[in-house]
Structure 1
């Protein structure tokens, strides 16, 4: 799939019959995706006084999200999104309530980490459900490409606004307000999405042939997409740690958050333009090219050096940010090629899981590198990891070529 998308295609997708309610509900439910983990971390840190404890709780939540995205996606593919999401929403409310109660009553750290993990598992997997519903709302072609690009762009916007709102709300008289606001928005958005007419009209889908414990990941093409998402997350995670470390060393600790928001803004703007004329057009070539270019540009951010100009760093960063949304869109488009029939939500759950694990690994490894070699080394380590995985993607590029139906059955 290499369709370009015009502004008319975006309009056609977002105004498709039946799209309004699930689009608005999905936006409300996905808005706190980046807000929830930061709100949890800041809340726990304020209550315990320990960043170490808060980091463990946040990590537990991310692990839960990584596992829950795949499990929920698999059920949504079989049952349709409506009933599974309603069940998950109810369990999510209970889990978040228990987490808040545990923090407020100063329960032992293992208990809080366990409850955060459960809350992550039951965080509604709206990313995969929303993405898979577009295959019902919009026919294949440029309009669907525009719809999937919209999904990527909207996520970037949420990643800009979510953390900023979480940081603002933690200063409220009660520091748990951000977690409650994020949980409430997710609950209402996912519930409204599940009850929308298009979601309720999606029926049961028989399990695809050749099902294994790995599910959709048993397909070679899906493993390639997951590797692309993993590499993307590794590079992102290294910048999320390296940039604040650089600005703090330069005497401007708050500048890091501002620049990360600017990074996402450049990604959103470039994502719309790139979607009109994607390059390379063949998707199996586009994915390694985008990851490789992204990794090289991030590594180039280290060339500024400890005594270099922050302005040069910012310029390099903005240019690299232009390749963020195109990668997320490419991952989503590749799922259509690589996933088994009837497994789109689960397949996208694997993409979310791989990216989440990549970000967590990138952040933790970058932290070690910063402590050992200095802030700018984080960009080198993240860029190097991205180049290695881009090379692997290039070697595996044939797995993303569309296959005849009989060949797909043989692979499964």
Structure 2
């Protein structure tokens, strides 16, 4: 079976020129939420206020992101991205001013909401560019491209939070927020400057597409459900692992467990993207979610932090291929007129699932101990398996219709 080559993919004209700036911007985006926590806590002295502001940031980002992506699909990346970056810079400046003047918590929450509402969807835009670049004649390389996207995102969430935490620990919480905004805006502006690789607006002139009809389809709803369940898995796993190591008298073990799991996931994602897979993506998806479900069942058998770490690594290696497959299936089944918007909605669904799981698993742990949290984790994985089974029929591009089809003329 031939191996795909990341280096050759990045040598495609225009590829590195948009992927690298998007990756830089994603480091800034990954820093933003935690940066707000440190910033607000340093001024107010309470995590309650920091949680309120960060919660407002997360909620507005999840709600507004698909609307910004809809504008991108309608008018194009190069027209929407610069003003959204300006709005993000202004919103961050407003939040910094509010914290510097010791504004009351409701105003701080409003500032956080403005920052969240203006976060540019660089990941969705980069994925849409890969789809446009490889759509004609090179669609077999899309899994490799989305694996590269997954790696870039994972690296961003490893480097970003660590950097902002280091700055905060050194007594520079404001610098962390400023650096996050600077990386986001710089990466976004460099991405916007790459006009040649930007997908053309899907709806222009006399071309009209009913976006609501294109989004309210069975395949899109299945993808939304999968991402929602994946978010529940992430949120419940984080809380449950933390509760387990605390119960076993090793609170410091949580960080290394997640770090090793993330590194294993990076390796798995890199290896997955190297190969050209002949098995249909829906079948691969069912295999990956089934393996994840079986792995989560082992959580109920572990009796030590070491055993837990081994199981977390085992489940963690299934996640990067899962993320790649979800992107591949999105590109192959969703109309290109709403592709960026769909990527954003899927991200919002995952974020909503993670937020809900944090509260649900916390209640389950208080009632039943860490195994209560593991029950939420396993239930989420099983839900993904069931949806993947349904996806064997739904997540197939019907003959004669794909996202490559042009919008219909009225």
Q: TM-score under structure 1 normalisation?
A: 0.90
Give the corresponding residue for 2:271: 273
Distance (whole Å) between structure 2 residues aligned to residue 364 and residue 137 of structure 1? 41
Kept in 1, the 8 Å contact 2:232–2:354? The answer is yes
The answer as to whether partners of 1:247 and 1:253 remain within 8 angstroms in 2 is yes
Deviation at 1:242, TM superposition (A): 1.6
Call closer, same or farther: CA 1:28–1:7 in 2, change over 3 Å.
same
Preserved CA contact (<8 Å) 1:219 1:339? no
Q: Which runs of 5+ in 1 are unaligned?
A: none
Which residue of the other structure, out of 311, 318, 336, is the alignment partner of 1:341?
Answer: 336
Q: Name the Cα RMSD after superposition.
A: 2.4
Name the SS for the 1:147 alignment partner: helix
Quote how far apart the aligned CAs of 1:278 are: 7.5
Indicate the SS of the match to 2:251: coil
Which among 181, 198, 203 is matched to residue 200 of structure 2? Answer: 203
TM-score of the two chains, using structure 2 as the length reference: 0.90
* 1:398 pairs with one of 375, 388, 393: 393
Q: Distance in 1 between matches of 2:226 and 2:34?
A: 25
Q: CA deviation at 1:61?
A: 1.2
Comparing 314-323 and 17-26, the one that deviates more: 17-26
8 Å contact from structure 2 (residues 28, 182) kept in 1: no
Quote the offset at 1:298 in angstroms.
Answer: 2.9
Query: Equivalences for 1:369-384 in 2 at 5 Å?
Result: 369-384=364-379
Shift of 1:7: 4.1
Residue of structure 1 in register with 2:295 after alignment:
297
Decide which of 140, 144, 147 is 1:146's aligned counterpart: 144
Asked if residue 137 in structure 1 is aligned to residue 136 in structure 2, the reply is: no
User: Equivalents in 2 of 1:106, 1:373: separation in Å?
Assistant: 41
1:341 and 1:122 map into 2 onto residues whose CA distance is 24
**2:252 aligned partner:** 254
Equivalent residue in structure 1 for 2:22, among 26, 30, 38: 26
Q: Does 1:331 align with 2:326?
A: yes
The one-character-per-residue Cα deviations of 1:220-279 (angstroms, maximum 9, x if unpaired) are 111111111111111011111122222233333333123212211111101122234587
Single out whichever of 121-130 and 37-46 deviates more from structure 2.
Answer: 37-46
Partner of 1:244: 242
Cα distance in structure 2, aligned partners of 1:394 and 1:406: 22
1:369–1:377 contact (8 Å) kept in structure 2: yes
Contact 2:21/2:190 (<8 A) preserved = yes
Partners of 2:133 and 2:151 in 1: how far apart?
19
Q: CA offset at residue 85 of structure 1? A: 0.7
- Residue 349 of structure 2 corresponds to 354
Call closer, same or farther: CA 1:278–1:61 in 2, change over 3 Å. farther
Gap change, CA 1:216 and 1:406, over 3 Å in 2: closer
How many angstroms apart in 2 are the aligned matches of 1:262 and 1:46? 30
- Is residue 18–residue 194 contact of structure 2 (8 Å, CA) maintained in 1? yes
Q: CA deviation at 1:286?
A: 2.7
Tell me which residue corresponds to 1:168.
Answer: 166
Which residue of 2 is the match for residue 227 of structure 1?
Answer: 225
1:88 equivalent in structure 2: 84
Secondary structure, aligned partner of 1:115: helix
- CA positional deviation for 1:387: 0.8
**CA displacement at 1:386 relative to structure 2:** 2.4
Contact 1:245 1:375 in 2 (8 A): yes
Aligned mates of 2:278, 2:247 — CA distance in 1:
38
On the 8 A contact 1:88/1:122 being kept in 2, the answer is yes
TM-aligned CA deviation for residue 177 of structure 1: 2.2
Distance change >3 Å, CA 154–CA 197, structure 1 → 2: same
- Unaligned 5+ segments in structure 2 are none
Contact 1:56/1:113 (CA < 8 Å) preserved in 2?
A: yes
**Which of residues 3, 6, 9 in structure 2 aligns to 1:6?**
3
Aligned length: 401
Relative to 1, partners in 2 of residues 1:215 and 1:89: Cα closer, same or farther, differing over 3 Å? farther
Give the whole-Å Cα distance in 1 for the aligned partners of 2:402 and 2:73: 22
CA contact (8 A) 2:4 2:141 kept: no
Tell me the residue number matched to 1:111.
Answer: 107
